[in-house]
A and B are shown apart, each in its own frame.
Chain A
Amino acid sequence: MNLIEELKTLGVNTEEGIARFMDNPTLYEKFVKRYVSSAETIHVLEFIESGELETAKANCHNLKGVTGNLSLTPLYDGYSEIMALLRADDIAGAKEKLEALLPVQDAIVATLKKYL
């Protein structure tokens, strides 16, 4: 299996992603690999736990935007839901959702790392 096929098994909408990158799979791969850095540097959970909710919201918003553009569908859907929960001040709900989402993100990042 190659990267695209592996990502597809993880629920990533690679067709949509490739289409967004002008039907160029190589270009898509180049950019999707950059998500490793985003995932490692933009954190949400620690800011929810420390009560820094504005930073948590800003970071969640950023991850929503990036995962959307890369068609990392499970992550995009997850961060969209968490964003809505944070906006509705449902902090416990957001935290619960995020704790469920992080293993999914870890799996995608682990896959991406194999191809770096």
Chain B
Amino acid sequence: MKDTILIVDDQEINRAILAEYFKEAYTIVEAENGREALEQLQHHKVCAILLDLFMPEVDGMAVLRKLNETGIVLHIPVFIITAAEDNEMLMEAYNLGAVDVVRKPFNNFMRCRVNNVIELYHHRNDLEALVKEQVEKLSAINMSMVETLATLIEFRDCESGEHVRRICGLTEILMHAVCEMYPEYYLPEAEIDKIVSASILHDVGKIAIPDNILQKPGRLTKEEFEIMKGHTVKGCEILEKIPDIIDNDIYHYSYDIARHHHERWDGRGYPDGLKGDEITIWAQVVAVADVYDALTSPRVYKTAFSHEKAVDMIYNGECGMFNPKVLEAFRLNIDTYRKGLESTE
């Protein structure tokens, strides 16, 4: 199938001449003003745009501005066709992303120039698509390695790996809620995605905790609890040794969450005794998600508490103090999370 070129010129003769130049190698779509050109772009996938500047209704410069705003100029070469000698205007066109200026009267070289640039853009677009595909593949492999690692840790902890998935789910809901409800905690969507991925490794340090403590069916002694608390710092030590398997953008979230998901709002958590917003909002959110899931899940040392009981324990401060704003987000969204869980079960 032929590629398509969009020819935009208010003079029918000029369009016809250009069409004649390119019709053998390309499908031609025409527009007689800028408005029509933008409409044609909605309906056709074009490989190049030949754009006259002086046109009624919407002129070529306005079209170029629109193509610049939407980023189309990065992927489709735009050639300005003009008889004007206004260098200032042509410089503006270049600055807006025009790839070349084709002067009227046309000459035969113009066809070669347009063809060459189209070919270059094809190569560039193909390469960009290839790189994007490879990055996505690598990222997927990376994520699956991280998930595998987290699941292995869960298995040692006599869990099935579901805990990690539930933490991710609740972290995602709570992060969105906190970011929407409290401007001071706002983060863009892309950052929330990274935090959710990073939450997978919150308990990575448990791999360094001996089995007799990790899987002890009864209450831990003071000494054992001190060792257990060390999973936060151990987690960071492990992450420091495997930075290459974790995406750079996710690494610092993983590190922070692994270390600080047991800190508490009143400073009575561990390992660093951080207080209030000294604890990052993502570590605070994962802390609430982790506690809720631990309470409502059976563990070797306890049976599962009901949702109501778990919520009461969290609000009463039985599991330590949390940021009231995070708790409010939790209160307003926990039902959404539970409904989601029910539908996946």
Q: What residues make up the interface of A, taking CB atoms closer than 8 Å to B?
A: 19-22, 27, 31, 34-35, 38, 58, 61-62, 64-66, 68-71, 76
Contact = CB atoms under 8 A, between A and B. Distances in A.
Nearest to B104: A65
B54 A68 contact: no
Nearest to B17: A69
A79 to B, nearest CB: 9
B11 A66 contact: yes
Contacts of B104: 64-65, 68-69
Interface string B101-131: 0001111100000000000000000000000
Contacts of A35: 13
A44 B21 CA distance: 29
Interface string B136-154: 0000000000000000000
Given A62-B54, A64-B83, A71 B105 contact: yes
Nearest to A32: B13
Interface of A, helix, strand, loop or mixed by DSSP: helix
Interface string B57-69: 0000000000000
Contacts, number: 53
A68 B11 CA distance: 13
A38 B11 contact: yes
Contacts of A66: 11, 13-14
A20 B14 CA distance: 12
B20 A21 contact: yes
Contacts of A69: 13-14, 17, 104-106
Nearest to B110: A20
Given A31-B13, A31-B16, A70-B13, 15 more contacts: A20-B17, A20-B105, A22-B21, A22-B108, A31-B17, A31-B20, A34-B16, A35-B13, A64-B104, A65-B83, A65-B104, A66-B11, A66-B13, A66-B14, A68-B83
A19 B11 contact: no
